[in-house]
Amino acid sequence: MLRKFLQSRSGNFAILSGVTMVPLCLAAGLAVDYSRHQSAQRHLQEMADATSLALAASKEQNQARLEQVANDYLAANRTSSRVQHVSVASVVATTESVDVELVGSIPTTFMGIAGYQTLDVGASALAERATRGDVEVSLILDNTDSMSDVVGGKTRISVLKSAANDLVSELLKDNPQSVRIGVVPYGQYVNVGLQNRNASWLSVRSDYSTSQQVAEQPAQCTTVDTYKNTTVKRTYDCSYSKDGQWIQRTCTEYNREKIGTKEQCTEYKAPYTKTTNYKWFGCVNSRKNSLPPFGPNRLHVEPALDKYTGFVQTDQNCLTPITSLTNSKATLKSAIDGMVTSVGNHKPLTYIPAGLVWGFNMLTPGEPLDGAGAFDPANQRPRKVAVLMTDGANTMKINTSNGNHTAISFSGPIDDNTEVPATNAELLQICTNMKAKGIEIFTVGFMMDSLKAKAMLQACSTEPSTHYFDATDSDKLAAAFTGIARSLQVVRLAR
């Protein structure tokens, strides 16, 4: 028995287990304490974030009062089971921001064996107050023919003017020196302003005139029959497309009864010289050449192989000029109030990429507009924001040979058209290029019928759930612009 006992090895595991149990227990205890420390750190950071936001929103400036508000806020929101002895280490407040630093501790469970009875935790957060810090906003606004339609006794363009003016007033209310806003009215083309005629980035030929001799036109008279409508012959569907909106109508054709005749005469005209004047009204084409790796120049604002081209014409077919970034409320109000939906006989269709790329230009430092600050990768200083508004889908396409915008033919609802997707794809590429620069994009659809156009605006926006607005009536358009203004005014964490 003695010999068997001495030769036995069956107790080795128990001995080894006993030797290693102490460090294993210490390691497990350390893991538990570390996990509790991480949980406390997260909770303290949450409280620091919330406290800094609360103080920034209060607009309070008194240091003692800020510290008291911070301590009250902590007392009401901390969870003692996760972190103890929480206090405000410092509060540094300016008119632009509030910087809060918090400290606390947790009691250890197992680390006390090693002499560590508590573990310290700390967190800090910096919240910016409202729109403090530079903010640049480009308002890209639809001025096409459909905006002349009447909604609830008001034209769509008048509703837009009211909403845009309210946004400007709200953003410039507290600290106008830190906010600059520009306006890009668009339709078929964009008007860059006559003052840019000799700019290095623009090519415009000189104004000119042509003369043509017109021969004598004798007076001519003809006799025509006159009729009156009697009974209804038939009713039929005569729906049509107006700037991307499919208008449903029913037309009536009547039987007619001849009631007499009348004489119609043209006026005599002597020979004369007809002079036709061609001039530049500020309208520009899209750029057309390609420059890798960005693709067609019309989709981005990188240095181009070709200039923008202004074109001379007999009648103006671009609307009011763009207004560069400014903090002058009077200038912006004048620009918005001056927007029109037609000039002479020109009733513009919709080519959103033209407006969007000039909104991009407006927020880009250097030419062509040369008024924006440098891009900040975090989009904080300055914070660059584009607001794109339209009431319809694209109804034009690009002629890549010359940069002209030509109308798309419609024989039915716009969502069934096969040419519109190409223009929509170019619009989305511009949005992608803007977002790659850090620009924040809000999109607003006003009483739009096209589901595909709505989906395009959602995809263009920075975040569809927060940056896209489907304004189905005038009140919702006003609410959309108010919502955008408030989203730019709310306090936000900068760190």
DSSP letter for 346, please.
Answer: B
Highest mean pLDDT: which of 12-21, 199-208, 395-404? 199-208
pLDDT at 301: 65
pLDDT at 110: 65
pLDDT one-digit tens code per residue, 127-152: 876 555 589 999 999 999 999 998 88
pLDDT at 490: 66
Residue 100 has pLDDT above 90, yes or no: no
Dihedral of CA atoms 366, 367, 371, 376 in degrees, nearest 10, equals -40
Nearest Cα to 37, choosing from 96, 120, 93?
120
Structure tokens at 403: 């940069």
Nearest Cα to 352, choosing from 273, 453, 235, 484?
453
474-489 and 156-171 helices cross at what angle (nearest 10)? 20
pTM attached to this predicted model: 0.72
pLDDT one-digit tens code per residue, 188-202: 999 999 999 999 999
| Residue 120 bridge partners (DSSP) | 105
| Cα 141 to Cα 362: distance, rounded to the nearest angstrom | 14
Judged by average pLDDT, the poorest of 257-261, 409-413, 432-436 is 409-413
pLDDT one-digit tens code per residue, 363-372: 999 889 888 9
Rounded alpha-carbon distances, angstroms, from residue 273 to 210, 214, 278, 495: 10, 6, 16, 73
Judged by average pLDDT, the poorest of 54-63, 139-148, 309-318, 480-489 is 54-63
Residue 293 has pLDDT above 50, yes or no: no
Judged by average pLDDT, the poorest of 39-43, 81-85, 451-455 is 81-85
In the chain, the domains with their CATH numbers are 11-128 (no CATH), 135-207+282-493 (3.40.50.410), 221-265 (no CATH)
